[in-house]
């Protein structure tokens, strides 16, 4: 059956070659492979990237971020701003207007009731909505008319583009999900696995954690799109296999997020069946310096808490020397190639918020050694490790299990050995390390080590909540079940005050300035966080697949409607 | 047959002084063992590989963890035979990896860990498996409970079990034995206690069949204690399945260890093992085949030699075979 | 024999319940968190709410009994409904996976065909290759054939599938382009052409898995044959003038098969368990891949249900192996 449609598609495209690009479904089938398989197509129940991106083929938000991080209307007729009156002057409400004539894939019209329902669905107290953070501060959603809603916030919101914006917060059809509110959400398996949407494709078969088959949405708002009649979305395996299927064997057209060493990707690209594309977002691989004492000799519940400052990490000279000893260019060359850039910033993009801090980029072993000498850290007993007052510079360095991270660990350990710092490495399975189980000693929140490495980014283009994670009251600790985002237990009242100021500032230029200052306080002033690499995203597409624009600010499949087969 | 015909019947009735002192049993064992070419080769290779990993570090003194990023991705010197432009150096006979670590030094250090883990875990699993298999096969009262226990262990998912073991015991073991030895004990323990079931099952089956045989009945009828029956009569007769389990067990232990390191619950990343070297190099298989082949061949040859050695030992220890 | 079987069947109920409890406690103790794969951008308060929605707020024993009820009462009733078109289970809570928020058993049923096709076929192919190799290598011990067989099976056993899998892909998919490197789970066999496609995509994973099975079973077969070839009854059989073929293929083989049959029967549950690494390498998304993703996502209901199904299979096949033992070897008595 599938083979026949494929053949028919191919035959049709031969017959009408000049017009092929302008006709829906003329280009047959497109194959996408994600090495993590989607578990559901309802992004409100699962916030995994794989689930959100698969869902973005079917359901759409009012607006998306484009490849430069700018806002583009999708279902909305335009992006509301203070200038065009869509956002209230007091920043307490935003009014969205839908395009007219939009239809769901089942043929019924899209109305403002669907928007209100989507908000109710996520904000239901028993629902356990994965995207609740998008609706933070929302006081209510009012239906103004059939196509207009107003979202009101309890406090002024300098960045009101949380609800209905970006891949994490698409619109659900009220009719389909009406019975699925709150605790009943998981009972609607059929709806969660095949949401009715406005996107370019509709689901024909969904197999959780395996494969999704889709066909073109006959009611899509652009009559000439999508160019493909059917789509196969395969999940599972590993990044090597996915890259191979696109670049070397040509079985698939698009492979997502090839997290592989640059020489491995380069070798695959020699296969000649496809090419790799890279783009940068806000993801930064960093080292966190533990400001509190993780010693196992302390009683449980007091390890890595503000009660006991770290014996040597609290010394600025040590942290700075550790940063100076690292060769970030080398790390990028070994681990990321074209998909990475050395950085000294926690907020590397967008340009408005990115600081010009570059002083860490050159490795300076001699300078680091001199700095430690001056600070009184000397190797007095000749074992190659510096000490002061009986405290040795001996570091336990942990991260999650991942080939590139283990290479980084080895390289950093080597650099630190050159400045007389001894390092013990540890790697922990990602499902434990990034899990928040308060019973496990190995989570990154508990931070029972001196230094740890991971990567993090922020949603959308506004770093406010990201920077606000570093205030004193967000320390993970036993009283909060170790839930907290201030991983390294940094604490500076001046920083907290500046974060509060950022929350009250609406003017973009001013926000940028404050964000840069906050970034510098965490990095080049305190060296409590050592950013290493600004990590881009590398994906691959077949030579015959056209129209792909890699986007790191939203779903990678954001413009799948524009994809076509190059003939 | 022909020998007996030549003997004079009257002569045969006379007592003769023994012309030679009686041969010791171990002498016979050695003679039989020597006849087995494979066993000799296996034993020799095992000795060689053991010496290689023990003495190796004193001869090849390069540090396995020393990074030398300028000399990364070197090829082994033999590649020069067909590719004159390959990046090779005489002081890096087996080449270097993607961070410039010397492959020969890593092979030596990795082999040390792999062999130690393989042997220790195999011996532990073999001991547990034989013990439980013999007990449940021989004592009917223990059979039910031990076999249900085997079912239980068989159905436990390995990965959560490991994570639990790591969470509960890593800190105390690290405090007691240091980071590397602590991890070693943990891994050997976990592999050992999760891989004895097959052996136990097979041993039990053999014992069930053997204990109905006449010689066991005879032994029991003259009042031999169960302990003696097991050690003198049962164990020697079930040597061959045990030997097979042992060879398979050694391979499984080495491979399981690599899978564990691969999943991030094994040794720290700066602690090479053959299995882990193999697993890490799979993505670069086409470009640098030696990086998977060297550890892969090392594991295979080790397992192979243990297998031949086991074969030879079994033949040598079995008096029925030895006579021929 | 019948009383033995019945007694064992009754005894297996408490055993299985105990196994379920142990697996549950193990998963409870394990340091995982279903929120581990949620991006770090999601704030902790939201994660806490999501945990509550999964039912993690309830105490452990309540969750365990709930699962027992769902597994032993609700799921069989769902099956009954599906068989006869009744609607007894309307509104009843089934075992729900945390990852997909859908019934676990539905996904298991969906995954079964791939696993049985690939892993089951590999097991059969493996046994069919292993038995003749084992028999012949034992009969001609230390011959060239025996040496080669030993060598190949040892290589097969000591080289892990995460190496052989990619090796085959590089050889046959990338260089030669003969077979697909990615298994199409949606493929339906309807006619000869589609069967050929199915055959092509199965051949590599089946070969990787069969190599492992062959290595193991041929070793046991060989050892067991060697054991029996030296027995007195073989000499007797030869002495009374039976042909060599009858001696080996009837007398020796029948006795040597006893331990091998156990090994084969005990390996059966593993078929249903899938092959974690091989399934992953070739993207045969079967039960093994399901278990692996569930483990990494700390999807406790899924892991618990899957491992418990394996436990049932293990207990059942263990019983079958014991009964076979009794049938094949009259010397063994169970009563």
Nearest to B298 by CA among B107, B37, B117: B107
User: Per CB distance under 8 Å, which residues of B are interface residues toward A?
Assistant: 65-67, 69, 73, 98-99, 101, 163, 166-167, 171, 175, 179, 263-265, 268-270, 280, 282-284, 286-287
Q: Return d(Cα C113, Cα A1) in angstroms, integer.
A: 20
Task: Note the pLDDT of residue A10.
Answer: 42
- Chain B's closest residue to A264, CA to CA, is B284
Task: Name every residue whose Cβ is closer than 8 Å to that of residue C63 and which is 6 or more positions away in sequence.
Answer: C55
**Strand ranges, E, within C185-302:** none
- Chain A's closest residue to B101, CA to CA, is A410
The answer to which of A57-71, A247-261, C179-193, C260-274 has the lowest mean pLDDT is C260-274
Task: Note the pLDDT of residue C62.
Answer: 86
C-alpha angle A56-A60-A63 in degrees, rounded to nearest 5: 115
Task: Note the pLDDT of residue B191.
Answer: 87
Task: Note the pLDDT of residue B324.
Answer: 47
Q: Which residue in this structure is represented by tokens 């892993």?
A: C119
Q: What is the percent of chain A with per-residue pLDDT over 70, rounded to a whole number?
A: 96
Touching B: which chains, 3+ CB pairs < 8 A? A, C
| Residues across chain A | 567
B contacts of C170 (beta carbons < 8 Å): 285-286
Count Cα neighbours of A29 within 13 Å in the Cβ-side half-sphere: 17
Burial status of residue B255 (CB atoms within 10 A of its CB: 0-12, 13-18, 19 or more): buried
Task: Note the pLDDT of residue A14.
Answer: 42
Touching C: which chains, 3+ CB pairs < 8 A? A, B
**Structural contact between residues B249 and B126, judged by C-beta atoms closer than 8 angstroms:** yes
Q: Which two tokens stand for residue B127?
A: 């001991």
Residues 171-210 of A with CB under 8 A from C: 183, 185-186, 189, 192-193, 205, 207-210
Q: How confident is the model at residue C326 (pLDDT cuts 50, 70, 90)?
A: confident
Query: Which residues of chain B fall short of a pLDDT of 70?
Result: 1-20, 159, 261-265, 318-324
The mean pLDDT of chain A is: 86
* Signed CA dihedral, C300, C309, B136, C257: sign only: negative
Task: Answer whether C259 sits within 8 Å of B320, measured CB to CB.
Answer: no
In this structure, are strands A529-542 and A274-289 parallel, antiparallel, or unpaired? antiparallel
Task: Answer whether B163 sits within 8 Å of C31, measured CB to CB.
Answer: yes
> Out of A47, A210, A252, whose CB is closest to C285?
A210
Task: Answer whether C32 sits within 8 Å of A432, measured CB to CB.
Answer: yes
Mutation target to probe the C interface, by most C beta carbons within 10 A, among A130, A189, A209 is A209
Q: Return d(Cα A117, Cα A181) in angstroms, integer.
A: 10
Q: What are phi and psi of A272, to 5 degrees?
A: 80, 5
C contacts of A442 (beta carbons < 8 Å): 31
- Chain C's closest residue to B295, CA to CA, is C159
* Signed CA dihedral, C38, C40, C45, C46: sign only: negative
**Structural contact between residues A45 and A248, judged by C-beta atoms closer than 8 angstroms:** no
**Structural contact between residues B74 and B85, judged by C-beta atoms closer than 8 angstroms:** no
> Out of A244, A251, A435, whose CB is closest to C33?
A435
**Is pLDDT above 50 for A486?**
yes
Task: Answer whether C106 sits within 8 Å of A457, measured CB to CB.
Answer: no
B contacts of A401 (beta carbons < 8 Å): 263-264
- The full DSSP string for A507-546 is -HHHHHHHHHHHHHIIIIIT-SEEEEEEEEEEEEEETTEE
Task: Note the pLDDT of residue A323.
Answer: 92
* Mean pLDDT value across residues A66-86: 88
**Structural contact between residues A76 and A99, judged by C-beta atoms closer than 8 angstroms:** yes
B contacts of A264 (beta carbons < 8 Å): 283-284
Q: Return d(Cα A140, Cα A123) in angstroms, integer.
A: 10
Segment (H or E) for B118: helix B103-138
Q: How confident is the model at residue A288 (pLDDT cuts 50, 70, 90)?
A: very high
Q: How many CB atoms lie within 10 A of CB A373?
A: 16
Q: If you count residue pairs, one on A and one on C, with CB atoms under 8 Å apart, how many are there? A: 189
Q: Return d(Cα B210, Cα B137) in angstroms, integer.
A: 9
Q: How far is CA C315 from CA B148, C24, C269, C271, C324, in A?
A: 8, 18, 9, 14, 14
User: Looking at the complex, does the CB of residue C167 fall below 8 Å from at least one CB of chain B?
Assistant: yes
> In this predicted model, what pLDDT tens digit does every residue of C115-165 receive, in sequence order?
888 888 889 999 998 999 888 888 887 788 888 887 787 777 777 777 788
> In this predicted model, what pLDDT tens digit does every residue of C48-75 receive, in sequence order?
777 777 777 778 888 888 888 888 888 8
User: Looking at the complex, does the CB of residue A37 fall below 8 Å from at least one CB of chain C?
Assistant: yes
> In this predicted model, what pLDDT tens digit does every residue of B197-241 receive, in sequence order?
888 888 888 888 888 888 888 988 998 888 888 888 888 888 777
| Interface ipTM | 0.78
Q: Return d(Cα B42, Cα B315) in angstroms, integer.
A: 14
Q: What is the percent of chain C with per-residue pLDDT over 70, rounded to a whole number?
A: 97
Task: Answer whether A267 sits within 8 Å of B284, measured CB to CB.
Answer: yes
* Mean pLDDT value across residues C164-182: 83
* Signed CA dihedral, A174, A176, A178, A183: sign only: negative
In chain B, the domains with their CATH numbers are 42-65+94-322 (1.10.3720.10)
**Is pLDDT above 90 for C111?**
no
Q: How confident is the model at residue A5 (pLDDT cuts 50, 70, 90)?
A: very low
- The full DSSP string for C36-60 is TTS-TTS-HHHHHHHHHHTTTTS-H
Task: Note the pLDDT of residue A7.
Answer: 42
Q: Return d(Cα A6, Cα A19) in angstroms, integer.
A: 18
Task: Note the pLDDT of residue C165.
Answer: 82
Task: Answer whether C223 sits within 8 Å of B241, measured CB to CB.
Answer: yes
Mutation target to probe the A interface, by most A beta carbons within 10 A, among B266, B270, B289 is B270
- SS3 (DSSP) at A549: coil
Q: Mind telling me how many Å the CA of A448 is from chain B's nearest CA?
A: 11
Q: Which two tokens stand for residue B276?
A: 């882990």
> Out of B99, B268, B282, whose CB is closest to A425?
B268
Q: How confident is the model at residue A20 (pLDDT cuts 50, 70, 90)?
A: very low
Residues 34-93 of C with CB under 8 A from B: none
Task: Note the pLDDT of residue C41.
Answer: 72
Task: Note the pLDDT of residue B15.
Answer: 63
The answer to which of A145-149, A248-252, A436-440 has the lowest mean pLDDT is A436-440
Touching A: which chains, 3+ CB pairs < 8 A? B, C
Q: What are phi and psi of A529, to 5 degrees?
A: -125, 130
* Mean pLDDT value across residues C9-18: 86
**Structural contact between residues B38 and C142, judged by C-beta atoms closer than 8 angstroms:** yes
> In this predicted model, what pLDDT tens digit does every residue of C79-88 receive, in sequence order?
888 888 777 7
Q: Mind telling me how many Å the CA of A405 is from chain B's nearest CA?
A: 10
- What is the DSSP secondary structure assignment for residue A364, as one 8-state letter? -
User: Looking at the complex, does the CB of residue C128 fall below 8 Å from at least one CB of chain B?
Assistant: no
Q: Which residue in this structure is represented by tokens 């432009």?
A: B85
Q: Which two tokens stand for residue A66?
A: 């484009």
**Structural contact between residues C39 and A131, judged by C-beta atoms closer than 8 angstroms:** no
Task: Answer whether C223 sits within 8 Å of B144, measured CB to CB.
Answer: no
Task: Answer whether C102 sits within 8 Å of A40, measured CB to CB.
Answer: yes
Q: How confident is the model at residue A13 (pLDDT cuts 50, 70, 90)?
A: very low
Task: Note the pLDDT of residue A6.
Answer: 43
Q: What are phi and psi of A391, to 5 degrees?
A: -100, 125
Q: Which two tokens stand for residue B194?
A: 């999760």
User: Looking at the complex, does the CB of residue C38 fall below 8 Å from at least one CB of chain A?
Assistant: yes
> In this predicted model, what pLDDT tens digit does every residue of B73-123 receive, in sequence order?
788 878 778 877 777 777 888 888 878 888 888 889 888 888 898 889 999
Segment (H or E) for A213: strand A211-216
User: Looking at the complex, does the CB of residue C44 fall below 8 Å from at least one CB of chain A?
Assistant: yes
- Chain C's closest residue to B252, CA to CA, is C158
**Is pLDDT above 80 for C36?**
no
**Structural contact between residues A263 and B98, judged by C-beta atoms closer than 8 angstroms:** yes
- SS3 (DSSP) at A73: strand
- Chain C's closest residue to A251, CA to CA, is C180
Q: What is the percent of chain A with per-residue pLDDT over 90, rounded to a whole number?
A: 35
Q: Return d(Cα C306, Cα A508) in angstroms, integer.
A: 53
Q: Mind telling me how many Å the CA of B123 is from chain C's nearest CA?
A: 18
The answer to which of A478-492, A504-518, B147-161 has the lowest mean pLDDT is B147-161
User: Looking at the complex, does the CB of residue C213 fall below 8 Å from at least one CB of chain A?
Assistant: no
**Structural contact between residues B278 and B295, judged by C-beta atoms closer than 8 angstroms:** yes
Residues 249-278 of A with CB under 8 A from C: 249, 251-252, 271
**Is pLDDT above 50 for A232?**
yes
Mutation target to probe the B interface, by most B beta carbons within 10 A, among A400, A406, A413, A435 is A406
Nearest to B312 by CA among C150, C139, C152: C150
**Is pLDDT above 80 for A383?**
yes
């Amino acid at each position: 059956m599938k083979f026949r449609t494929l053949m028919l598609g191919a035959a049709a495209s031969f017959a009408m070659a000049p017009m092929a690009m302008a006709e829906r479904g003329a280009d047959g089938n497109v194959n996408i492979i994600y090495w993590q398989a989607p578990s559901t197509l309802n992004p409100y129940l699962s916030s995994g990237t794989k689930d959100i991106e698969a869902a973005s083929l079917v359901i759409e938000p009012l607006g998306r971020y484009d490849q430069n991080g700018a806002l583009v209307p999708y279902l909305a007729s335009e992006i509301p701003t203070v200038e065009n009156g869509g956002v209230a002057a007091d920043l307490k409400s935003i009014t969205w207007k839908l395009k007219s004539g939009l239809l769901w894939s089942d043929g019924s019209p899209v109305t403002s009731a669907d928007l209100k329902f989507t908000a109710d669905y996520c904000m239901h107290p028993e629902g356990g909505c994965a995207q609740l953070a998008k609706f933070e501060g929302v006081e209510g959603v009012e239906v103004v008319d059939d196509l207009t809603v107003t979202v009101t916030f309890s406090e002024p919101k300098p960045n009101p583009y949380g609800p209905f914006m970006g891949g994490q917060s698409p619109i659900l059809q009220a009719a389909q999900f009406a019975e699925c509110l709150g605790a009943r959400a998981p009972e609607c398996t059929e709806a969660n696995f095949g949401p009715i949407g406005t996107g370019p494709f509709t689901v024909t078969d969904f197999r959780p954690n395996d494969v999704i088959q889709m066909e073109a949405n006959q009611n899509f708002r652009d009559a000439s799109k999508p160019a493909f009649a059917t789509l196969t979305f395969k999940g599972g395996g590993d990044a090597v296999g996915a890259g191979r299927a696109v670049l070397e064997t040509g079985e698939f057209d698009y492979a997502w997020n090839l997290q592989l060493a640059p020489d491995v990707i380069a070798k695959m690209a020699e296969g000649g069946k496809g090419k790799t594309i890279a783009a940068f977002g806000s993801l930064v691989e960093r080292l966190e310096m533990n400001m509190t004492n993780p010693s196992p000799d302390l009683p449980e519940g007091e390890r890595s808490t503000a009660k006991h400052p770290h014996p040597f990490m609290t010394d600025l000279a040590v942290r700075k020397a550790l940063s100076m000893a690292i060769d970030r260019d080398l790390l990028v060359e070994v681990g990321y190639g074209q998909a990475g850039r050395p950085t000294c910033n926690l907020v590397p993009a967008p340009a408005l918020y990115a600081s010009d801090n570059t002083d860490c980029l050159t490795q300076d072993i001699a300078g680091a050694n001199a700095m430690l000498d001056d600070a009184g850290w000397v190797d007095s007993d000749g074992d190659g490790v510096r000490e002061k007052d009986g405290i040795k510079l001996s570091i336990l360095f942990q991260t999650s299990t991942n080939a590139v991270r283990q290479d980084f660990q080895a390289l950093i350990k080597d650099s630190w050995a050159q400045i007389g710092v001894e390092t013990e490495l540890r790697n922990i399975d990602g499902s434990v390390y990034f899990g928040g189980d308060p019973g496990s000693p190995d989570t990154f929140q508990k931070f029972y080590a001196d230094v740890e490495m991971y990567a993090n980014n922020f949603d959308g283009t506004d770093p406010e909540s990201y920077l606000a994670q570093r205030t004193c009251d967000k320390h993970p600790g036993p009283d909060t079940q170790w839930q907290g985002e201030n991983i390294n237990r940094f604490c500076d009242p001046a920083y907290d005050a500046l974060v509060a100021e950022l929350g009250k500032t609406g003017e973009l230029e001013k926000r940028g300035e404050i964000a840069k200052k906050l970034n510098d306080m965490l990095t080049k002033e305190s060296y409590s966080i050592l950013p290493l690499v600004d990590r881009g995203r590398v994906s691959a597409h077949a030579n015959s697949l056209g129209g792909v624009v890699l986007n790191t600010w939203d779903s990678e499949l954001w413009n799948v409607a524009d994809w076509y087969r190059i003939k | 047959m022909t020998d007996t015909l030549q003997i004079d019947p009257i002569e045969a009735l006379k007592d003769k002084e023994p012309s030679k002192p009686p041969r010791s049993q171990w002498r016979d064992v050695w003679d039989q063992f020597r006849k087995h070419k494979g066993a000799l080769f296996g034993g020799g290779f095992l000795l060689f590989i053991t010496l290689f990993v023990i003495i190796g570090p004193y001869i090849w003194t390069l540090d396995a963890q020393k990074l030398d990023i300028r000399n990364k991705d070197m090829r082994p010197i033999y590649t020069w035979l067909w590719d004159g432009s390959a990046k090779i150096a005489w002081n890096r006979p087996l080449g270097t990896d993607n961070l410039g670590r010397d492959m020969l030094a890593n092979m030596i250090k990795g082999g040390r860990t792999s062999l130690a883990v393989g042997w220790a875990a195999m011996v532990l699993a073999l001991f547990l498996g034989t013990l439980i298999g013999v007990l449940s096969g021989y004592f009917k009262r223990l059979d039910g409970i031990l076999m249900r226990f085997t079912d239980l262990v068989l159905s436990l998912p390995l990965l959560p079990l490991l994570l639990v073991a790591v969470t509960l015991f890593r800190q105390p073991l690290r405090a007691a034995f240091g980071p590397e030895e602590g991890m070693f004990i943990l891994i050997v323990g976990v592999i050992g206690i999760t891989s004895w079931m097959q052996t136990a099952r097979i041993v039990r089956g053999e014992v069930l069949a053997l204990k109905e045989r006449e010689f066991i009945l005879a032994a029991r009828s003259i009042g031999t204690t169960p302990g003696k029956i097991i050690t003198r009569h049962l164990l020697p007769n079930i040597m061959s399945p045990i030997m097979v389990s042992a060879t398979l067990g050694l391979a499984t232990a080495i491979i399981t260890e690599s899978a564990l390191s691969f999943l991030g619950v094994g040794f720290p990343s700066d602690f090479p093992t053959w299995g882990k070297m193999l697993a890490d190099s799979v993505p670069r298989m086409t470009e640098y085949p030696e990086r998977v082949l060297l550890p892969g061949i090392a594991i295979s040859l080790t397992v192979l030699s243990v297998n031949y050695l086991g074969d030879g030992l079994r033949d040598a220890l079995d008096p029925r075979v030895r006579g021929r | 024999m019948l009383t033995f079987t019945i007694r064992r069947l009754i005894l297996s109920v408490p055993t299985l319940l105990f196994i379920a409890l142990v697996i549950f406690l193990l998963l409870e103790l394990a340091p995982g968190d279903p929120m581990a794969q949620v991006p770090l951008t999601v704030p902790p308060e939201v994660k806490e709410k999501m945990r509550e929605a999964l039912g993690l707020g309830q105490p452990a024993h309540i969750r365990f009994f709930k699962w027992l009820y769902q597994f032993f009462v609700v799921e069989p009733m769902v099956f009954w409904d599906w068989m006869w078109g009744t609607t007894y289970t309307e509104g009843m809570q089934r075992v729900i996976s945390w990852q997909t928020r859908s019934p676990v058993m539905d996904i298991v049923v969906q995954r079964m065909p791939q696993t049985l096709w690939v892993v089951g076929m590999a097991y059969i192919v493996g046994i069919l290759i292993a038995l003749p190799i084992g028999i012949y290598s034992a009969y001609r011990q230390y011959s060239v054939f025996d040496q080669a067989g030993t060598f190949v099976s040892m290589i097969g056993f000591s080289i892990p599938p995460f190496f052989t899998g990619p090796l085959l892909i590089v050889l046959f998919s990338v260089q030669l382009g003969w077979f697909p490197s990615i298994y199409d789970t949606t493929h339906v066999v309807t006619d000869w052409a589609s069967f050929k496609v199915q055959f092509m995509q199965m051949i590599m994973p089946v070969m990787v898995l069969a190599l492992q099975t062959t290595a193991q079973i041929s070793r046991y077969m060989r050892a067991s044959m060697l054991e029996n070839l030296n027995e007195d009854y073989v000499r007797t059989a030869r002495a009374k003038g039976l042909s060599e073929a009858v001696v080996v293929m009837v007398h020796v083989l029948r006795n040597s098969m006893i331990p091998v049959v156990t090994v084969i029967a005990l390996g059966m549950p593993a078929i249903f368990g899938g092959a974690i690494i091989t399934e992953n390498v070739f993207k045969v998304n079967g039960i093994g891949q399901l278990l692996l993703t569930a483990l990494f996502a700390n999807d406790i209901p899924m892991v618990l249900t899957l491992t418990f199904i394996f436990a049932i299979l293990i207990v059942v096949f263990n019983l079958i192996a014991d009964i076979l033992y009794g049938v094949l070897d009259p010397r063994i008595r169970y009563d």
